[in-house]
Amino acid sequence: MTSHVAVLSGGTSLEREVSLRSGRRVQDALSDRGYRVTGLDVDAHLVHTLDEGDFDVAFLALHGSAGEDGTIQSLLELVGMPYTGPDVLASSLAWNKPIAQGLYRRAGIHVPDHVVLSQQAFREMGAAAAVDRVAAELGSPLVVKPATGGSSLGLSVVEDPSRLSQAILGAFSYAEAVLVERFVAGTEVAVTLLDGEPLPAVEIRPKEGAYDFAARYTAGATEFHAPARISEEAAAACATAAITAFEAVGARDVSRADLILDAEDRPWLLELDTCPGLTETSLIPMAAQAAGLEFEDLCERLVRLALERGA
């Protein structure tokens, strides 16, 4: 009997529109492969809909907090439904960048030096008066990003230390804590792990500025090369870092490691995304295609992994 797949997308996060785009693309791919597919925009009726829908498996195309921090994973485990992607623990670990970077560093991966500043520290402990020490300790330029979140929302590159406070306050609009990292110059590379195995690295070249939200999801704003135009040794080093990060948080099925390859071909891990985008401009479909895997094959592979695992 044909499996009935619930494709979960949308929700209320800041990445809602991207998630809906991912969801529609996954629905089309699985329908083309003969699956019964129902797209669900995640809302307050989700549990009732899942209970009444006769679904066999949930495909997660839900980006942002509820889709990547373990929330939806925990709910699906509660209702006993198999789902694609990493489990509750791996999702919650990778979602919190400071905690995840601590795990990656312990595992021997190069991660940029950083400090973490919380809104509470700014409001109640006078941390704003110590901001100048951040640049003194880490140097400049600096990268400011929310400590939780995805799609580079709230990310900025600060070259003038006098603008650091403003960048931190802007990032507080997206999270309760902010990660300030030493900027690592080099080639931006993404490595997709599919069932623990690396796909060809994708090289990312924004035409202007940083690889931020607009550069990610605006067609033509960024040049991509898959496979990346890097040496075999560098590609192997990036793959090793990605696999190590994947294992450090206990991920499964699919994740994407974002790295910077410096002038010495040393990979620096920025983060591991456990529910990455699957839109027309997203990196995972590019990596899959470079490996000879059509998007429909990728989606079907993830569904089968979840069904084999069960609830």
Is 239 within 8 Å of 191 (Cβ atoms)? yes
The residue behind tokens 């529910």 is 275
Give residue-wise pLDDT tens across range 140-164: 999 999 999 875 788 999 999 989 9
Q: Is the dihedral of CA 69, 71, 76, 78 positive or negative?
A: positive
Helix (H) or strand (E) holding 144: strand 142-146
Residues 105 and 230 both lie in one domain: yes
Take residue 118 and report the two structure tokens written for it. Answer: 């919380």
Residue 207's pLDDT band (cuts 50, 70, 90): confident
Q: Which of 249, 272, 252, 259 is nearest to 228 (CA)?
A: 259
Residue 151 and residue 80 share a domain: no
The pairing of strands 4-9 and 57-60 is parallel
Angle, helix 232-249 to helix 88-95, in steps of 10 degrees: 120
Residues 198, 254, single domain; the answer is yes
Mean pLDDT score, 7-14: 92
What tokens appear for 31 in the block? 């329908």
In this structure, what token pair is assigned to residue 195? 């069932």
Number of domains in the chain: 3
Q: In whole angstroms, what is the distance from residue 192 CA to residue 283 CA?
A: 8
Q: Which of 211, 209, 230, 233 is nearest to 283 (CA)?
A: 211
- Contact (CB, 8 A) for 53 and 216: no
- The per-residue pLDDT for range 47-74, each reduced to its tens digit, is 999 999 999 999 999 998 889 999 999 9
Same domain? For 242 and 261 the reply is yes
Smallest CA-to-CA distance from 272 within 101, 88, 114 is with: 101
Of 167, 182, 197, the one marking the end of a domain is 182
Please state, rounded to an integer, the average pLDDT across all residues of the chain.
92
Task: Give the residue from 182, 211, 232 where a domain finishes.
Answer: 182
Give the residue numbers spanning the domain of 175.
Answer: 114-182
Are 76 and 157 found together in one domain? no
Here the CATH number for the domain that contains residue 76 is 3.40.50.20
Residue 218, CA distances (Å) to 149, 188, 282, 286 in order: 19, 18, 10, 15
Tell me: pLDDT of 226 over 70.
yes
Residue 293's Cβ-count burial label (10 Å; 0-12, 13-18, 19+) is middle
Which pTM was predicted? Answer: 0.92
